[in-house]
Chains A and B, each alone.
Chain A
């Protein structure tokens, strides 16, 4: 699993029947050391009700099809959790409740 920040959403009408009903979000990977965005944005399926700006956990590959919402759905990554805080080496590097810088 990896961390990413949700930066947007994406809408598709003409699509595979099996994707109907899934919420697609745009996310960008997060570097755990700096908590800064790092890497190319990707499209992922939301299973937990995540929204723009939130840091999320996501799973890729066939694991992403193990959730109740994505079973037998053609997805290659799924958001499986919204991160509250991250502690590394006794230091809090991210806290969702903290006021924005």
Chain B
């Protein structure tokens, strides 16, 4: 998993049937200093996250099926947690 920041919402009307009712968010990976790193992706939200939240990004299809509770779901990236704080090299960073 990686950490990222939610940068926006995505709305799709015509979509794969199994996606109905799921919230889509735009999320961009960040490094531990909080700076953006890497490409922005669209993720399924399983943690009730909102724009500006620092989140756990899971980039695994099997995990996506588990976290969304659908064994046939075609998905890769999910947001599976909202980060409260993290500690590294003795420094604690609170994200909200």
Chain A residues close to B by CB (< 8 Å): 7-16, 18-19, 24, 26, 40-44, 61-62, 65, 72-77
Contact = CB atoms under 8 A, between A and B. Distances in A.
Contacts, number: 95
Contact of A12 (B31, B37, B60, B83): B83
B51 interface: no
A12 B82 contact: yes
Contacts of B89: 7-8
A76 B59 contact: yes
Given A14-B82, A74-B58, A74-B78, A44 B1 contact: yes
Interface string B44-83: 0011110000001011101110110000000000101111
Contacts of B62: 61-62, 65, 74
Contact of A40 (B37, B49, B82): B37
B66 A8 contact: no
Contacts of B85: 10-11
A9 B3 CA distance: 12
Contacts of B78: 16, 74
B3 A74 contact: no
A16 B59 CA distance: 15
Contact of A26 (B32, B48, B60, B81): B32
Contact of A16 (B46, B84, B87): B46
Given A42-B1, A74-B67, A16 B81 contact: yes
User: Taking each of A12, A26, A43, which has the highest tally of chain B beta carbons within 10 Å of its own beta carbon?
Assistant: A12
Residue in B1, B56, B64 whose Cβ sees the most chain A Cβ within 10 Å: B1
